[in-house]
Structure 1
Amino acid sequence: MPRISAATVPEHRHQVHRRIFDAFADLMAQESYDAITMARIAERAGLGRTAIYHHFPDKAAVVVGFASAETEAYVAELEERLASTPDPVLRMRYYIRHQLEAGHTFHMGLGVQLVGRLPDSSRRAIRAHVTAVEDVLRRILAEGVESGTMTVPDPDTALALVHACLTPRDLPSEQVESFVLRALGCP
């Protein structure tokens, strides 16, 4: 029986998963998804060649697990940041800044090219994680409309347009923030 490197089995499993996700992220930063194998992820994570399969059945499952862990951390950090103010306009400013700042890390390589190579079940699982981030924005938009500080005739369209504005990472953050707030009719 393998030794665990933590006080509890769940903690050990979490640590191993984190090592696998870090290894996957490192490899994705260096090469294409197709060039990465489970054996290479295991090696980079410091696991035996077959030990990784005790945690994930295949590379697509690693991607889904990675996306899940990253999304949970991202949303938790975002929610913590938003909890400091009830003002919807300030909450929107925080949301925009967080997306622009933390998005560089969070959106690592999980673009259309990668997600398009995954099985349908994996794509649906990743979409569920994207929905968690969208739900935060949807809530801020609803609060803005309710308080009268935002004009949002169609929340779904506004959500898509706000996220489209936050996609380019090379634009000045202040200008993106100003543009989005004006588009939402914020004072």
Structure 2
Amino acid sequence: MPKINAATVAEHRAQQRAALIQAAVDVLVEQGAAAVTPAAVGARAGLARSSFYQYFPSAAALLAAIVEEAFTAADAATAQALADLREPVQRLDAFIRTELLLAARGAHRPAKALMQADLPPECLARVHELHHRHNAPLQAAIAALPGDAPELTGQLVGGTVQAAMTAVEHGADPVRVADRALALLRHGLTPQSAEQSDDHPATAQGRAVPPA
């Protein structure tokens, strides 16, 4: 039996499994899904290859576990942030701020790498299913706001959020990025801003309106 580094065997196994998943995430992000092999992951985690199979029957099973766990923490964080909020604008704000804080912690790295990886079809389908479920509160908040074309609006908001996450992942301050992104989104999502844009002479002539 391996040396126990926790109070119980169950805790030890949980730690070992978590170490393998973290090692696999690091390999996945750095080298791609094809590099996630039992030997590579075991070496990265400091465990023998034989130990790998005590927790996962194959590399595919490990990737499936990463798919599930990549969204678990993010789903929990957004659920907590939205728990006491009912107004659509408040929920949109809280969702985006939470996403950017998660991005600053690197929590989105596994999901991003998985969506870009050459995964088995069923695994990739599960990634997209979980991604859609994770973003459902954001889409619901957008649909509850005044205006038409909520699906298109959701796609445009999603693009803004992705750009904001990229900025944060490259070192930008998540609070500052959230403040700026939300200022832009609030301006575009409120009926008043649409009316002002229609009446603005520069907009009517097809010229960009300079920032205030």
Query: TM-score normalised to the size of structure 1?
Result: 0.78
Asked whether the equivalents of residues 42 and 52 of structure 2 are also in contact (C-alpha less than 8 Å), the reply is yes
CA distance in 2, matches of 1:8, 1:138: 43
Asked whether the equivalents of residues 88 and 140 of structure 1 are also in contact (C-alpha less than 8 Å), the reply is yes
Q: 1:62 corresponds to which letter in structure 2?
A: L
Give runs of aligned pairs for residues 125-144 of structure 1, distance below 5 A: 125-142=126-143
Question: Where does the alignment leave 5 or more consecutive residues of structure 2 unmatched?
Answer: 193-212
Asked whether the equivalents of residues 23 and 41 of structure 2 are also in contact (C-alpha less than 8 Å), the reply is yes
Are 1:67 and 2:67 counterparts? yes
Are 1:183 and 2:188 counterparts? yes
- Correspondence for 1:151 among 146, 157, 160: 146
Give runs of aligned pairs for residues 43-58 of structure 1, distance below 5 A: 43-58=43-58
Q: Secondary structure at the match of 1:50?
A: helix
Asked whether the equivalents of residues 166 and 176 of structure 1 are also in contact (C-alpha less than 8 Å), the reply is yes
Asked whether the equivalents of residues 92 and 140 of structure 1 are also in contact (C-alpha less than 8 Å), the reply is yes
Asked whether the equivalents of residues 151 and 186 of structure 1 are also in contact (C-alpha less than 8 Å), the reply is yes
CA distance in 1, matches of 2:112, 2:71: 14
Match for residue 76 of structure 2?
76
Q: CA RMSD in A?
A: 2.9
Asked whether the equivalents of residues 61 and 122 of structure 1 are also in contact (C-alpha less than 8 Å), the reply is no
CA distance in 2, matches of 1:15, 1:107: 21
Match for residue 202 of structure 2?
none
Q: Secondary structure at the match of 1:54?
A: coil
CA distance in 2, matches of 1:66, 1:3: 26
Bigger mean CA offset, 55-64 vs 123-132: 55-64
CA distance in 2, matches of 1:41, 1:121: 22
CA distance in 2, matches of 1:58, 1:96: 36
CA distance in 1, matches of 2:124, 2:15: 25
Query: TM-score normalised to the size of structure 2?
Result: 0.70
CA distance in 1, matches of 2:13, 2:150: 40
Structure 1 residue 76 displacement after superposition: 0.4
Asked whether the equivalents of residues 33 and 119 of structure 2 are also in contact (C-alpha less than 8 Å), the reply is no
Asked whether the equivalents of residues 33 and 114 of structure 1 are also in contact (C-alpha less than 8 Å), the reply is no
Question: Where does the alignment leave 5 or more consecutive residues of structure 1 unmatched?
Answer: none
Match for residue 17 of structure 1?
17
Q: Which has the larger radius of gyration?
A: 2
Structure 1 residue 111 displacement after superposition: 3.6
CA distance in 2, matches of 1:22, 1:122: 18
Bigger mean CA offset, 177-186 vs 130-139: 177-186
Match for residue 198 of structure 2?
none
Seq. identity, %: 23
CA distance in 1, matches of 2:34, 2:124: 16
CA distance in 2, matches of 1:27, 1:71: 18
CA distance in 1, matches of 2:60, 2:153: 32
CA distance in 2, matches of 1:153, 1:12: 53
| Higher-RCO chain (CA-CA 8 Å, sequence separation at least 6) | 1
Q: Which segments of structure 1 move beyond 6 Å, counting only runs of 4 or more?
A: 1-4
Asked whether the equivalents of residues 67 and 114 of structure 2 are also in contact (C-alpha less than 8 Å), the reply is no
* Shift in CA distance, 35/90, structure 1 to aligned 2, threshold 3 Å: same
Structure 1 residue 110 displacement after superposition: 4.1
* Shift in CA distance, 106/31, structure 1 to aligned 2, threshold 3 Å: same
